[in-house]
Amino acid sequence: MATLTLSHFLPLRRNHLRDDHRRNRCRCCLSSSATNESSTAVVWFKQDLRVDDHPGLIAASKHGAVIPLYVLDRRILSRYTTENLELAIIALEELRSSLKKQGSDLMLRYGNAENVIEDLVKEVRAPFVFVEEEVEHHLCEVLDAVRKKMDGVSFPGESPRVVVWRTPFYGTQSLSDLPHSWEEFKKLTLPVTMPVPAVRLSSPESELQWGSVPTLDDLKDFMKEGLCEKEKSWREMANASAERILMERNLEPNVNETVGKKVNNSAFITRSRDTVGGGTEAVLNGLAGYLRYLEGTSRDDWQEVHARLRDAETRPGASFFKLFGPALCLGIVSRRRVHYEAIEYEKERNAGFISPFGYSASTVTAATDAVCSMEWYSLVALNKETTDDKRRSIRIWRWKGYLIQYTVAGNEGPAVLLVHGFGAFLEHYRDNVDSIVNSKNRVWTITVLGFGKSEKPNIIYTELLWSELLRDFMIEVVGEPAHCVGNSIGGYFVSLMAFRWPELVKSVILVNSAGNVIPGYSPLSVSKERRVPFGAQLGARLLILFLRFNVKKLLKDCYPVKPERADEFLITEMLRASQDPGVVMVLESIFGFDLSLPLNYLLKGFEERTLVIQGMKDPISDPRKKVALLKEFCPGMEIKKVNAGHCPHDEIPEEVNHIICEWIAKVDNDEQQQALKSLIPADLPQ
């Protein structure tokens, strides 16, 4: 398949797809001579539900007829929360209305995208399919399937082409050689590009079945079709909040919920009324109200936005993504449109002047910081595909709108999940994955939210949030119970997951885990809403400075037996991550962690399936005291003491790998024996 060279379309990253699919990529540009005024183009909408600032529609408009298409594909929609499904339905209604104003319509069809698009391309003989670039692994797989289908379709003259586009945020012609550090990237002072208006479109003359937008209930029924009972129960599990689970365990959270009155032209149109939704026009109206928070207003709809802003401002600037994040992730508005509107408002406030010392309104700062941060992590996801010298492929998973990096290795055997500690990343298991895979296991590693090259949004980070992330990763990505390995605070997250969702965990392996052992522990109430402790921001900034100057020494102290393992790679990546946008918010969490639930309480009833690997030279805790307490109050746990510091898995990987693999084999063998026994009738001798 040939490559198109088109204007507002940036060159795409290198090595995004496997070599056998690279030839299928077409790159868009408005000045392309490859357009054909007599041909038909299909524009496949996914997470770009708008006509404003839509480079794909602009390129497609050069063709004689345009068919905008939305495919109701379970593989895509299954990753949406109920609220996002509701937002998407409303956005599709508004998108159809907007397209009709531009002379077109929106076609909706059910099924797998590759089959739907193949049938439509054949039906209308469309030589071009325009589709937005994606970074999420499951969407990339769907795009690959579409490309393969297009390879098998041919018309007289030329075969159909898949044209991949993206909305360029920065004014640069190359994204492949950008700096790896946010601080170095900012020094380039790249200009933010201007959004482009909607264009007129031409519809095909032939009669087509355009379809109707489903109701939320209809869509939920469609999503349930074909699901087994386990899948249904896991989906329900994903909807249960941390607070609800703790309440069921007699840990009643302090809940403070307020529901305001409904107003005319409200920007909050979903049942929960938590986020701004609707079409592009409605979201931009909500954004206008948000930006003008300091001015006050007599408009009911803007007053409602201001009230929601105050409720969502758990820390400075956090309200923006809380209110507008879902609309941005669904592409109802583009990031550069938000940036443009914020800057225009700032100019309006200051007679056309933009101060070099910062914006005059905190809402402008919140909006521009959020979209610039989102763009940075999107660029990181586009350009970073492999990790360490093993060349394992990095994949991207979107969780609650945030981009998370992970890897998968192995083709057979039990599932194993590796979770790193505070300040680390998935590469911290660089010398563990292959050994565990070679023992016939499948291994997932994840860089959790706020660390490494995963996104660092402006939110309050808590141990409950991270455990929910692991739960959803298990449900959406792993798809089956796993042996869960956690180092340091990662061990505490794994323990919380085992406590709250034991169906997801085959066994727990704690490697120098955080968390205490408290005899006779009685649970207390847990606060649902947390705020940043006073002085946490200053403390976090001072901590960043301290870490940047002392990271080498601190890291080597954690490797007392083999300090050479605290090598330049780990040091460089930790320093790089310390410069990322949002890192201050992550470090603030240190001052607000609640690790009051002790390990002996969290893992009660799970002890027989818990392995503790404890480095006895850990400089961060008292390993001898911890081992003694675990032996006394958690007698069912298996404990392995090793000669290492805080990170035994990376300091002495060969020894730790052997312990982990032996444990997994033992647990799985015991499980198989129990399953066999359950099949033998009780009245027969065993």
Q: CATH number for the 384-519+594-671 domain, one of 3.90.320.10, 3.40.190.10, 3.40.50.1820, 3.40.50.2300?
A: 3.40.50.1820
In this prediction, residue 685 carries a pLDDT of 57
Q: Are 364 and 341 in contact (CB under 8 A)?
A: no
- Integer Cα distance of 275 and 52 in angstroms: 21
Q: Could you tell me which of 316, 637, 589, 356 has the C-alpha nearest to residue 451?
A: 589
> Predicted confidence band at 356 (pLDDT cuts at 50, 70, 90)?
confident
> Predicted confidence band at 264 (pLDDT cuts at 50, 70, 90)?
confident
Q: Could you tell me which of 165, 649, 67, 683 has the C-alpha nearest to residue 416?
A: 649
In this prediction, residue 100 carries a pLDDT of 96
User: To which H or E segment does residue 257 belong?
Assistant: none
Point out the least confidently predicted range of 112-126, 354-368, 537-551. Answer: 537-551
Q: Are 175 and 144 in contact (CB under 8 A)?
A: no
- Integer Cα distance of 479 and 238 in angstroms: 12
What is the pTM assigned to this prediction?
0.90
* CATH 3.40.50.1820 domain residues, the chain: 384-519+594-671
> Predicted confidence band at 15 (pLDDT cuts at 50, 70, 90)?
very low
How deeply is 686 buried, as exposed, middle or buried, from its count of CB atoms within 10 A (0-12, 13-18, 19+)? Answer: exposed
Q: What average pLDDT does range 39-52 have in this prediction?
A: 96
In this prediction, residue 185 carries a pLDDT of 92
> DSSP of 140-204, one letter per residue?
HHHHHHHHHHHHT---SS---EEEEE----BS-S--TT--SSHHHHHHT-PPBPPP---------
For 640, phi then psi, to 5°, come to: -120, 115
Tokens of 236: 């329900």
Alpha-carbon Rg for the chain, nearest whole angstrom, is 26
Q: Which of the two residues, 19 and 630, has the higher pLDDT score?
A: 630
For 193, phi then psi, to 5°, come to: -75, 160
> Predicted confidence band at 19 (pLDDT cuts at 50, 70, 90)?
very low
pLDDT tens profile 459-505 = 999 999 999 999 999 999 999 999 999 999 999 999 999 999 999 99
For 114, phi then psi, to 5°, come to: -65, -35
Q: Are 287 and 281 in contact (CB under 8 A)?
A: no
Q: What average pLDDT does range 280-300 have in this prediction?
A: 95
For 621, phi then psi, to 5°, come to: -130, 180
Q: Distances from the Cα of 65 to the Cαs of 29, 57, 159, 488, 677, in angstroms?
A: 18, 11, 18, 58, 66
In this prediction, residue 263 carries a pLDDT of 72
> Predicted confidence band at 683 (pLDDT cuts at 50, 70, 90)?
low
> Predicted confidence band at 509 (pLDDT cuts at 50, 70, 90)?
very high
Q: How many residues does the chain have?
A: 686
Helix, strand, coil tally for the chain in percent (to 5)? 45, 15, 45
* CATH 3.40.50.620 domain residues, the chain: 19-219
**Single-letter residue type at 525:** S
**Single-letter residue type at 390:** K
- Integer Cα distance of 401 and 648 in angstroms: 34
In this prediction, residue 243 carries a pLDDT of 53
In this prediction, residue 157 carries a pLDDT of 66
- Integer Cα distance of 654 and 411 in angstroms: 22
Q: What percent of the chain has pLDDT over 70?
A: 87
- Integer Cα distance of 166 and 12 in angstroms: 8
pLDDT at 386 over 90: no
* Residue environment code for 438-456, b if the CB has 16+ CB neighbours within 10 A, otherwise e: ebebbbbbbbbbbbbbbbb
In this prediction, residue 240 carries a pLDDT of 66
- Integer Cα distance of 464 and 481 in angstroms: 20
Q: What average pLDDT does range 497-525 have in this prediction?
A: 90
Q: Could you tell me which of 496, 58, 81 has the C-alpha nearest to residue 275?
A: 81
pLDDT tens profile 574-583 = 999 999 999 9
pLDDT at 670 over 60: yes
Residues 6+ apart with CB under 8 A from 328: 321, 335, 338, 371, 374, 401
pLDDT tens profile 138-172 = 999 999 999 999 998 887 767 889 999 999 999 87
- Integer Cα distance of 281 and 277 in angstroms: 10
Collapsing DSSP to helix, strand or coil, 121 comes out as helix
**Residue 451 CA to chain centroid, in angstroms?**
12
User: To which H or E segment does residue 43 belong?
Assistant: strand 40-45
The pLDDT mean for the chain works out to: 87
Q: What average pLDDT does range 509-530 have in this prediction?
A: 81
Tokens of 581: 């946008």
In this prediction, residue 464 carries a pLDDT of 92
> Predicted confidence band at 25 (pLDDT cuts at 50, 70, 90)?
very low
Q: Which of the two residues, 388 and 150, has the higher pLDDT score?
A: 150
Point out the least confidently predicted range of 27-41, 165-179, 432-446. Answer: 27-41
Residues 6+ apart with CB under 8 A from 2: 26, 34, 158, 161
Q: Are 216 and 86 in contact (CB under 8 A)?
A: yes
638-642/610-615 β-pairing:
parallel
**Single-letter residue type at 151:** D
CATH architecture, domain 19-219: 3-Layer(aba) Sandwich (3.40)
- Integer Cα distance of 164 and 382 in angstroms: 13
Angle at 51 between CA 47 and CA 57, to 5 degrees: 85
